[in-house]
Structure 1
Amino acid sequence: MRDEEPVGEPVSSRPVRRGALLGAAAWTLGVLALLIVLPLAARDRLPAQVATHWSGRDPDGSMSVTAAALFPAGVWLLVALGFAVAVRFRPDPARQWAGPVLAFTGMLLTGAQTSIVRANLDRARWQDAAPMGIEVVVIVVAAGLAGVLSWLATRPGATAPARPGTPVLELRAGERTAWLSQAANPWLQLLAAVTALIPVTAVLVAVGGLAEPDWVTVVILALSSVVLLLCSSVRVRVTDEGLHVGFGPFGWPVRKLSPAELVSARVERLTARAAGGWGYRANRRGTTVFLRRGECLVVRTKRGKDFAISVDDAERGAALLNTLIARTGSPTR
């Protein structure tokens, strides 16, 4: 298969990086707040000194409640600031590892802080803290899973940069090619991250034994965050098999349209008003994935509906799709 060679920095990588930056900032501040607030909110139900270290299942070390809140927060800030400096001076490797490491460390620290609060809750002395057991394994596994998911979500994807002029694709018989691009809306990604912090906080509060949240509200907010995340970015690919549009940071779910299902492809400039709003929109004309103003790749299906995606380098994607449609004997108009 012949892929088009990128020249310079892909245009479509800019909004993805901006969204990743905003998401990292929201995650950093959210974890910092949880690490400080969890023990301080339970101060009245904790001993003056809380157990913070266990030898086997028995506690053998303690800190004041204030120190127990500030120490992990300081560790977290050092990790976050370290990556901020690394991104400034060694951007490529730092961006590659920032997401997984921040996800792993943040989950590990908040899980440990929640377990510490729960173990010391309503105890007269820190020596009476509950033993640690399966909680440690659960925290490490959850942190590892968060790191893996973050790596899958932030790994670089192939993109095709925009070039001036309308592309003309002349393919020889039997020749195969591919076009790839992606786009993201950083504000939708930030809103998804902020929305997710609320149910995460509620779960940690419940696990820590501090309060019983309204689980209906927690589930609604969690689902809303997932929907926002899926609607905040797309990965678009055109191959001999047709159009593939993957939603969200993992490129899933995927909508596929074969050349035989399409009538034509074109480029159209859309605004939020014309698209009906931001994100995934549906109307009588069809559906639109609107993430930014400007050129969109628009395909007309044989059902008479339009499917539009705001993505970079839409002209070449449309040109390749029209070539593939012509190969199947479908008229392009």
Structure 2
Amino acid sequence: MTDEGSGTHRPGARKRDGWGGRGGLWAALAWSLGVLALLVALPLAARHRLPDPLATHWGGRDPDGSMSLTGAVLVPALLWLVLVLVSALLQRYYGERTPGCGAAALASGGVLLTGAQTAVVHANLDRARWQDAAPMGIEVVLVLLATAAAGVLAWLAGRRFGARAEALPAAGAPVLDVPEGEEFVWLSWATNPWLQLLAAVLGLVTVAGVLAAASGLAGLDWSLVLPFALPAVAVLVCSSVQARVTARGLTVGFGPFGRPARHWSPADLVSARVEQRTAAQAGGWGYRINGLGTTVMLRGGTCLVVRTRRGTDFAVSVDDAERGAALLNALIARAGQPTG
């Protein structure tokens, strides 16, 4: 039997949008607005230290083309708006067949344009004429490498939380009959849109500080950057969770790449069940430890709860928890463990 992990869409199944749910859509919107603000703000913040016109094109290492300050502000911004529209269309019409394509275009395009704008400002800073702009060299290589890395990472994240089908909950007995030797995969996830939005905002503040330093507008002060960078990573990891049941047991992965992850084999578990829990019961949002055990609470409602052989409970708030618990109980029974 095969559930969500196959990507097969069955009648009556609900599908997520190509951005990985409402949280991914809000994060994409925050990224789009943040990149637009950076493209406009970088040259305007340095306008008193830039020539007008300023160098915007280099033939080899030396500048051979220029543009007015107004053009240097508006042209990248307009290119970005067009790219945002193209990314949205890609995700709308091709996101189901190619999950992550729109996210990859949005991430790589944003990095490319902001990197190029930063390099242009840095090269023209404190120059009397655009012809005196600094030569381009390693900056181009670094921007291209960062662009490729951003595109690949966004594509991988998009494939994990992109347009997969959500299987309908199983009705009936809490233990499913899985024929011996038959392979199966159950896959489900949950996201918290507010945490994803917070991670995007913190990340943009971090990027703004790094780009300001790279352009020469300010020095790089790690005491100001790290308080935003570290929480951005921590919040991003805690903003989404993915639960996967295979013949090897249960794996719960965190963040857009499923790392870090926790794994339990069927021999590690005593039973699996479904419970209704709220954030108040769990002690708040995110990764919580209290009298109920460990709870990964990203949205209130149905949780998949497993009892380990150590006598502790681990709960994760994911969709279709009934089917996941039934499959786990079938695996536990096959391994000779009790299911109650």
Amino acid at match of 1:3: T
Distance in 2 between the 1:208 and 1:10 partners? 49
> What residue number does 1:199 align with?
206
Q: Alignment partner for residue 29 of structure 2, among 25, 32, 44?
A: 25
> What residue number does 2:288 align with?
281
> What residue number does 1:225 align with?
232
Structure 1: 5+ residue runs without aligned partners? none
Distance in 2 between the 1:138 and 1:222 partners? 20
> What residue number does 2:273 align with?
266
> What residue number does 1:163 align with?
169
Distance in 2 between the 1:39 and 1:9 partners? 51
Q: 1:9 deviation in Å?
A: 6.7
Q: Are the equivalent residues in 1 in contact too, given 2:248–2:265 (CA < 8 A)?
A: yes
Distance in 2 between the 1:247 and 1:12 partners? 21
String of CA shifts for 1:187-212, please: whole Å, max 9, x gaps.
21111111101111100000111012
Q: Are the equivalent residues in 1 in contact too, given 2:15–2:164 (CA < 8 A)?
A: no
Q: Relative to structure 1, is the Cα distance of residues 16 and 185 closer, same or farther in structure 2, using a 3 angstrom cutoff?
A: farther
String of CA shifts for 1:58-106, please: whole Å, max 9, x gaps.
1111112221111100110111123335555666468642111111111
Root-mean-square deviation (Å): 2.1
> How many residue pairs end up in the alignment?
332
Distance in 2 between the 1:237 and 1:22 partners? 25
> What residue number does 1:293 align with?
300
> What residue number does 1:152 align with?
156
Q: Are the equivalent residues in 2 in contact too, given 1:198–1:221 (CA < 8 A)?
A: yes
SS in 2 for 1:145: helix
Q: 1:148 deviation in Å?
A: 0.5
Distance in 2 between the 1:141 and 1:263 partners? 48
Single out whichever of 168-177 and 281-290 deviates more from structure 2: 168-177
> What residue number does 1:253 align with?
260
String of CA shifts for 1:124-171, please: whole Å, max 9, x gaps.
111100000111111011101100000000014755512362354112
SS in 1 for 2:252: strand
String of CA shifts for 1:224-271, please: whole Å, max 9, x gaps.
111111111112111121101111111111100111111111000111
Q: Are the equivalent residues in 2 in contact too, given 1:11–1:161 (CA < 8 A)?
A: yes
Amino acid at match of 1:331: P
Q: Alignment partner for residue 34 of structure 1, among 27, 32, 38?
A: 38
TM-score of the superposed pair, with normalisation by structure 2:
0.91
Q: 1:110 deviation in Å?
A: 0.3
How many percent of aligned residue pairs carry the same amino acid? 58
Q: Relative to structure 1, is the Cα distance of residues 140 and 277 closer, same or farther in structure 2, using a 3 angstrom cutoff?
A: same
TM-score of the superposed pair, with normalisation by structure 1:
0.93
Single out whichever of 165-174 and 298-307 deviates more from structure 2: 165-174
Distance in 2 between the 1:20 and 1:325 partners? 35
> What residue number does 1:66 align with?
70
Q: Relative to structure 1, is the Cα distance of residues 298 and 159 closer, same or farther in structure 2, using a 3 angstrom cutoff?
A: farther
Distance in 2 between the 1:197 and 1:9 partners? 39
Q: Are the equivalent residues in 2 in contact too, given 1:241–1:259 (CA < 8 A)?
A: yes
SS in 2 for 1:312: coil
> What residue number does 1:77 align with?
81
Distance in 2 between the 1:12 and 1:86 partners? 17
> What residue number does 1:208 align with?
215
Amino acid at match of 1:115: A
Single out whichever of 107-116 and 204-213 deviates more from structure 2: 204-213
Q: Alignment partner for residue 321 of structure 1, among 308, 322, 328?
A: 328
Amino acid at match of 1:181: S
SS in 2 for 1:289: strand
Q: Are the equivalent residues in 2 in contact too, given 1:166–1:316 (CA < 8 A)?
A: no
Q: Relative to structure 1, is the Cα distance of residues 97 and 301 closer, same or farther in structure 2, using a 3 angstrom cutoff?
A: same
Q: Relative to structure 1, is the Cα distance of residues 118 and 9 closer, same or farther in structure 2, using a 3 angstrom cutoff?
A: farther
Structure 2: 5+ residue runs without aligned partners? none
Q: Relative to structure 1, is the Cα distance of residues 10 and 276 closer, same or farther in structure 2, using a 3 angstrom cutoff?
A: farther
Q: Relative to structure 1, is the Cα distance of residues 17 and 94 closer, same or farther in structure 2, using a 3 angstrom cutoff?
A: farther
